[in-house]
Amino acid sequence: MSGYRVMGVVNVTPDSFSDGGLFLDEHAAVQHGLELVEQGADILDVGGESTRPGAEPVGEEEEKRRVVPVIEALAAATRSLPEPPQLSIDTSKAAVARAALVAGATLVNDVSALRADPAMASVVAGSDADCCLMHMLGEPRTMQQDPRYGDVVDDVRAFLEERLSFAVRAGISEQRIMLDPGIGFGKTVDHNLELLRRLNEIVEVGRPVLVGTSRKSFLGVVLSPRTGALRARAQDAAAETLPVAERLPGTIATNVMAYERGASVFRVHDVAPVVDALAVAAATLSGKWTASTRTT
């Protein structure tokens, strides 16, 4: 096994569940992005609107105001690197995506899978940008209100296959599309664990699979010594979850398992430890470890 990339999260938001407000300032966001590159991030995912459960929408102009200067600055600061990171815009708005692509982004990470804005597909197709299509049940404000599935893996796979077909018909090259099962987006703890357990069935669709488990609430439920049961619904156990800052071990475990099951892009807040964990997993699974020049 080989060929994976780590996507570092750069949230330019006041209300993201994990780091809201920490990098709202343009300079802080840019510095954070550069630090993630130093830690090994292959992609920087810049977002100006929180998609946490219950999040309120952000206006188009405000979202552009938050993200465009950051992408421009990151593009300028990383252009001369031997292997500059790919810059991604995390948005469901066509106008924001268009402005971000002009600023230097080459990947559109759309949690609505091209459903929220009718113009998004043509923006992506016309730019030759890569895109990520994610499964989400409902919208951020409502997605955790009693989510139900027949079979969560079958349902998510069918949705992603349909959105992939739609994107290709809209003129987006299939080779530029990756898929995201949407861990934590309209799923209970059981749903998330089942998706991870059977992630190979999503990989079988044939496109690179992105997994985003970083610091998410289902990890807090599973890891909390106070929950007593892995089968608790995340929304019912909100008061019993492990704090966000203590979820790194769960993040690492889920990313390593996802890699073993065929995922190839890993969206995380804590880049350095996940890069190290995946390096060990890749060396183990490939059986082709070679000495590194790394000295620290």
Q: Annotated active-site positions, please?
A: 216, 267
Long-range contacts of 83-89 (CB under 8 A, 24+ apart): 85/8, 85/37, 85/41, 85/42, 85/43, 85/44, 86/42, 86/43, 86/44, 86/130, 87/43, 87/44, 87/46, 88/7, 88/43, 88/44, 88/45, 88/46, 88/132, 89/45, 89/46, 89/47
Give the phi and the psi of residue 101 in degrees, each rounded to 5.
Answer: -65, -40
Is 199 exposed, middle or buried, given 0-12, 13-18 or 19+ CB atoms closer than 10 A? buried
* Cα 207 to Cα 176: distance, rounded to the nearest angstrom: 9
SS (H, E, C) 122-191: HHHHHHCCEEEEECCCCCCCCCCCCCCCCCHHHHHHHHHHHHHHHHHHCCCCHHHEEEECCCCCCCCHHH
